[in-house]
Chains A and B, each alone.
Chain A
């Protein structure tokens, strides 16, 4: 276990450095003078000089990179070029919307996918199972924007149950209103994510039903259902945990589009606005934070998987 922790931390570190390099280099590929692009064509020469100064463009590239990394390591993500405000303060503030939204969507996705996936694999010959499977592949083909628009149409315009736009001004001081505001967005992402998760749960359950130890349990007189619940499901749970790492990335990406659609003041919406404003330093730091979150969570999931899966401990 110790050995595993060391190697995994090492690969995580390499991953973080590599992703920071990819982001940094790509954003410096910008053709022409960065300061000129940010300032706009009407900017006065003094303003351009000021921007160059703020961005540290007068230094060589590797110095700029090291400066940025040093800032990240000490918890300073820099300041916005346009407003001068601290980037990490704003990221923390926006995360109050994005993180609950992501968790909420994941919960909805799991609540849909787990029981349905196990059931359809257990009773895969029935008409209901076939219908659910067909629905899942269609749902996975729906663009997230369209699902959101249909959700707005159905739940807000026609039924009037849920708000279709915005987040309460008081934020989480009014938890009920905040949850209500996030429900429709989370439902949108959760349904599509659930359709993808469903297919994993279903194939994992299929594999579990066919596993030797489950078949052995059945041969000892356990019913098929009993053997699946008692002996098969732990393996299903493990394969879902190892799946979650990849799903977190796609949930975060779904949040970028959905925040725009539902006018939610989250990280994704901030990123889109910053890209529009060419606030490069902020885009650079935000992108890094998002990828770092995905990489760190991926590593954590690996560790958890290792901890709870007895098969992984063989040979230690």
Chain B
């Protein structure tokens, strides 16, 4: 099944519909934030601090009098950027490393395998903290660090898949008719790992948003002037005993988005699983049954 067809079929499952709704809304809000926002997310009015929900401020205001809803909407930009950025970086790293290991020069394969195993043991967040120690943080550093961290994990999964494919008869047939190297990779191998890759990237996008929230909380992510959900969590911590309601929104937004990526990955995996029929997929992917 092609990946495009799988994406269409995922839309018929409960999980997929949930994921598409949340992610669609996320992209829509991020695009909208460049054109229009209810209020300036950084406009602090001290006299307007801690306003309750109202028509003027749908989710109230925070301790500096900034509109919470506007900050949440502006924060979607960072979320989309981190998810897409990490998805691309980790996908490219995963495919390149796996290809080098399966098709590359024989001398390179074993050292690369050890290298990948070490990098997998190296916790992603520690890698990000290390990069931050060198380059003083920021979203691009977060994307690169988290992308490398997940990229090596994707490499391991893709490598296993590639090995399996390389043993298949159609590869043998292609090789027998003289197809080698780059063309073999593009025409015969990549299309066949694309489904595994899509599932992995979808999961790593969700994990990347979690990692960004942790790093921004630690002060290594988004710079002060930029709205980010992780940063909002950090800013509200001091007021938690007085104004618990503002703690709720950024965390809720993060959870919903990450959940959407998880469920998308889950639904894709079940749709792409050749062992399941279409009817089984529709039954299994209705929300609540995770096999």
- Do the two shown chains form a genuine complex with each other? yes
Q: What's the least CB distance linking A22 to chain B, in Å?
A: 7
A145 touches B121 (CB 8 A): no
Main secondary structure of the interface of B (DSSP, over half): helix
B122 touches A257 (CB 8 A): no
B96 within 8 A of A: no
Chain A interface residue number, banded: 35 or more
In the complex, per-residue mask of B148-170: 1 if CB is within 8 Å of any chain A CB, else 0 = 00000000000000000000000
A272 touches B126 (CB 8 A): no
Given A27-B134, A30-B134, also A143-B233 (CB < 8 A): yes
A9 within 8 A of B: no
CA distance A49 to B236 in the complex (A): 42
A291 within 8 A of B: yes
CA distance A15 to B124 in the complex (A): 16
Given A249-B123, A291-B126, also A137-B218 (CB < 8 A): no
A291 touches B134 (CB 8 A): no
The total number of A-B Cβ pairs within 8 Å is 148
Task: Please give, as numbers and ranges, the residues of chain A lying within 8 Å of B288 by CB-CB distance.
Answer: 130-131, 133-134
A307 within 8 A of B: no
Chain B interface residue number, banded: 35 or more
CA distance A249 to B118 in the complex (A): 12
A183 within 8 A of B: no
B213 within 8 A of A: yes
Task: State which of B27-35, B52-60, B62-70, B254-262 sits at the interface with chain A.
Answer: B254-262
Q: What's the least CB distance linking A162 to chain B, in Å?
A: 14
Residue from B122, B125, B132, B255 in contact with A143 in the complex, judged by beta carbons closer than 8 Å:
B255
Task: Please give, as numbers and ranges, the residues of chain B lying within 8 Å of A14 by CB-CB distance.
Answer: 114, 118
A275 touches B244 (CB 8 A): no
* 257-272 of chain A: CB within 8 A of chain B: 257, 260-261, 271-272
Task: State which of A83-91, A107-115, A150-158 sits at the interface with chain B.
Answer: A150-158
B130 within 8 A of A: yes
B37 within 8 A of A: no
Task: Please give, as numbers and ranges, the residues of chain A lying within 8 Å of B259 by CB-CB distance.
Answer: 137-138, 141
CA distance A294 to B256 in the complex (A): 31
B16 within 8 A of A: no
CA distance A130 to B289 in the complex (A): 6
Q: What's the least CB distance linking A275 to chain B, in Å?
A: 4
Q: What's the least CB distance linking A50 to chain B, in Å?
A: 21
Residue from A19, A153, A283 in contact with B240 in the complex, judged by beta carbons closer than 8 Å:
A153
Nearest-CB residue, chain A, relative to B266: A137
A290 within 8 A of B: yes
Residue from B114, B134, B233, B287 in contact with A18 in the complex, judged by beta carbons closer than 8 Å:
B114
Nearest-CB residue, chain A, relative to B229: A143
Q: List 16 A-B contacts (CB under 8 A).
A: A15-B117, A31-B135, A133-B288, A136-B290, A137-B263, A141-B255, A141-B259, A143-B255, A144-B214, A153-B241, A157-B244, A250-B123, A253-B123, A253-B124, A272-B218, A294-B123
Q: B interface vs A, CB < 8 Å? A: 114-115, 117-119, 121-126, 129-135, 206, 210, 213-214, 217-220, 230, 233-234, 236-237, 240-241, 244, 247, 250-251, 254-256, 258-259, 262-263, 266, 287-291
Q: Closest 6 interchain pairs by CB?
A: A146-B251, A141-B258, A141-B259, A253-B125, A143-B213, A130-B288
List 15 additional contacts besides A278-B133, A290-B123; criterion CB under 8 Å: A15-B118, A22-B122, A134-B288, A136-B290, A141-B262, A142-B251, A143-B214, A143-B251, A143-B254, A145-B213, A152-B240, A153-B241, A257-B217, A257-B218, A275-B133
